Amino acid sequence: MRQKQARKRQKPSGLKLRQAQPEDGKAILSCLLAAFAPYRDQYTPLAFADTVLDRSMLERRMQSMHILVAELDGDIVGTVAGSVSGDGEGHLRGMAVVPRCQGTGVAGQLLGGIEAWLKAQLCPRITLDTTLPLRAAMKFYVKHGYSPSGRTSNFFGMPLFEYHKELAESGQAT
């Protein structure tokens, strides 16, 4: 058992982060579904559908957000999306890593990649939202400098908790 756990934590060699392309759609949807499937029974049906997306929802997201994918041996094993609001604040959505790559550093690389993109967009602050079933994700975000903002909203009948992170050096001229 210990050997299996140690193997799971090894960082995958050859992992590449890149901007998602339209032809990645099916693989991104598969990644989202695989990552969130264990939580399906803890989500309302509408919240789960909004989390794992369908083809048209993903197409809209690809037009309005910057989406990164983590690719390993030609397979998409993770994804995250980021956008910039009118007031310059960054926002993350759809962070997902396929189960076989969870705990290997893929999520940290994706988070670093999207944060770098948001920093280049001069975002002084990043927000994200998460749900109670994703307690491991909450711990992950806190470990990476995010804090609960205290804001909670209704996500299709579930509480949605906002986290935020200040980007100390957003690249703005002084």
The predicted-structure confidence for 81-105, as pLDDT tens digits, reads as follows 999 998 899 999 999 999 999 999 9
Predicted pLDDT at 11 = 73
Domain residue ranges in the chain: 15-166
Q: Are strands 90-97 and 66-72 parallel, antiparallel or unpaired?
A: unpaired
Per-residue pLDDT tens digits for 39-85: 999 999 999 999 999 999 999 999 999 999 999 999 999 999 999 99
Non-local CB neighbours of 147 within 8 Å, separated by 6+ positions = 163, 164, 165
CA dist 154 and 82 (Å) reads: 21
CATH architecture of the domain formed by 15-166 = 3-Layer(aba) Sandwich (3.40)
Predicted pLDDT at 9 = 57
The per-residue pLDDT of the chain, averaged, comes to 92
Predicted pLDDT at 7 = 42
* Selected residue with higher pLDDT from 151 and 11: 151
What mean pLDDT comes out for the span 1-26? 75
